[in-house]
Amino acid sequence: MRRVVITGVGLVSVLGVSREQIANALYNGISGIVADPQRLEHGFHSPLTGHIDGFDCARHLNRKQRKSMPDFAIQAHAATLDALDQGGLAPEDLRSERCGLVFGNDSTVQSVVDQQAALLEAGSTSGMGSGHVFRCMNSTITMNLNVLLGNTGPSWTVSAACASGAYAIGQAADQIRLGRLDRVVCGAAQEVNWPSVCSFDGLGAFSARTPAEAASRPFDKGRDGLVPSGGAAALLLEDYDTARSRNACILAEVLGFGCSADGETLSVPSRTGLARAMRMALTEGGLSAADVDIVNAHATSTPQGDAAEAANLRAVFGADCPDVMALKSLTGHELWMSGASQVAYAVIMAQAGFTAATIN
């Protein structure tokens, strides 16, 4: 089996739109969560949301390029370019059958809302414009990136709810490990808007705590729900020998990946499923629980979810569990993006030599 390394990461995040901004927010405990009064006007119980500041889709791509892209796909393109740049590559370097794209995504709600509005305004489907169909497809990120980057290798979208980004990394790594591909850009994105999360609010899943920056409280006794968030994350994965042959700076190595389904309920997490996935990852990586120095927890700040995660961590690591960091205290829950973004954040912190505190 071939070794898989990470040579670049890029993010458009509520913590910043550059690695430097994000590192500063992680180091200093600067929250990316705000209160949005518009959500209360639309009947939400909670106004809280992650907020991306400093990224203008209209400045990143021209109108023609944006025609078929929702905002989060544009953000994914920006994150991809940043990851390639850090890795010392250009889009032209992906134009090979030995390179691929794998991104996670599980919704295009705002695009569907916009499509319905366009139909009502036009009075006929023939007057809606051609871009809507591509904005509404779950594969909108990868199909648009293929065109913008000129990718001719394999490309697909992973749809696995909040695990989408993690699955994208795991599947990309497998393609390299098995010798099918030499280089893969992988990641995930999540739309940040009120229509995409209104049903979550209706379920009472969101925190109603104030002030906003104190609302997301992973593992805290007083936690009362998650804070929705989003953006985009991209990682450049390469075969170790391929990276070494071009003198690339190796940021991290993907040693193992594990996944499992609870097989019980749709929304209540299992107290055994996560432990199975962690053990699979450790086994694939040739590691034991004692080899782990720190855990980057999912920890969404929900009463049931965090309790289940803590039980699973204890099942794997025992009473001597390593330190646990819960980045969603800073970012909120980035949903489909979170599995990829938390790996990207971890790479940024490892390169800078620190781990972020859980701020609440």
Instruction: Inform me whether the pLDDT recorded for 264 exceeds 90.
Output: no
Annotated catalytic residue within 51, 77, 132, 298: 298
Q: Give the pLDDT band of residue 32 (cuts 50, 70, 90).
A: very high
Q: What is the pLDDT of residue 126?
A: 86
- Count the Cβ atoms, other than its own, within 10 Å of residue 282: 18
Residues facing residue 5 across a β-bridge: 238, 253
Annotated catalytic residue within 51, 77, 132, 162: 162
Annotated catalytic residue within 51, 77, 132, 333: 333
Average pLDDT on 126-152 reads 94
Q: Is residue 274 part of a domain?
A: no
Cis peptide before 154 (omega within 30 of 0): no
51 is catalytic: no
Q: How far apart are CA 135 and CA 138, in angstroms?
A: 8
What sign does the CA torsion over 298, 302, 308, 313 have? Answer: positive
Q: Is residue 292 part of a domain?
A: no
Write down the H helix ranges in 150-272: 164-177, 198-202, 240-245
Q: Give the pLDDT band of residue 263 (cuts 50, 70, 90).
A: confident
Contacts of residue 109, Cβ cutoff 8 Å, sequence gap at least 6: 191, 193, 195, 196
Domain range for residue 177? Answer: 4-255+327-352
Instruction: Inform me whether the pLDDT recorded for 311 exceeds 90.
Output: yes
Strand 99-104 relative to strand 155-158, pairing: parallel
Q: What is the pLDDT of residue 191?
A: 98
Q: Is residue 278 part of a domain?
A: no
For the chain, first and last CA: distance in Å? 42
Q: Is residue 358 part of a domain?
A: no
Q: Is residue 322 part of a domain?
A: no
Strand 4-12 relative to strand 252-254, pairing: antiparallel
186 is catalytic: no
60 is catalytic: no
Residues facing residue 252 across a β-bridge: 6
Q: What is the pLDDT of residue 175?
A: 99
Full-model pTM: 0.97
Residues facing residue 101 across a β-bridge: 155, 185
Q: Is residue 150 part of a domain?
A: yes
CATH of residue 74's domain is: 3.40.47.10
Contacts of residue 355, Cβ cutoff 8 Å, sequence gap at least 6: 294, 323, 325, 349
pLDDT in tens, 166-212: 999 999 999 999 999 999 999 999 999 999 999 999 999 999 999 99
pLDDT in tens, 343-359: 999 999 999 999 999 99
Q: How far apart are CA 266 and CA 268, in angstroms?
A: 6
Q: Is residue 276 part of a domain?
A: no
Say what angle helices 338-352 and 164-177 make with each other, to 10 degrees: 70
**What single letter denotes the amino acid at residue 212?**
A
- Asked whether the beta carbons of 304 and 219 are under 8 A apart, the reply is no
Q: Is 227 helix (H, G, I), strand (E, B) or coil?
A: coil
Q: How far apart are CA 260 and CA 269, in angstroms?
A: 12
- Asked whether the beta carbons of 308 and 269 are under 8 A apart, the reply is yes
Q: Is residue 34 part of a domain?
A: yes
Q: What is the DSSP letter of 327?
A: T
Tell me which residue of 344, 256, 262, 360 sits closest to 311, measured CA to CA: 262
Q: How far apart are CA 115 and CA 112, in angstroms?
A: 5
Look at the chain and report how many structural domains it folds into.
1
| Alpha-carbon distances of 224 from 219, 234, 336, rounded to whole Å | 10, 30, 21
Strand 323-325 relative to strand 294-296, pairing: parallel
- Count the Cβ atoms, other than its own, within 10 Å of residue 91: 16
Instruction: Inform me whether the pLDDT recorded for 217 exceeds 90.
Output: yes
Q: Residue 315 phi/psi, 5° resolution?
A: -65, -35
pLDDT in tens, 47-101: 999 999 999 999 999 999 999 999 999 999 999 999 999 999 999 999 999 999 9
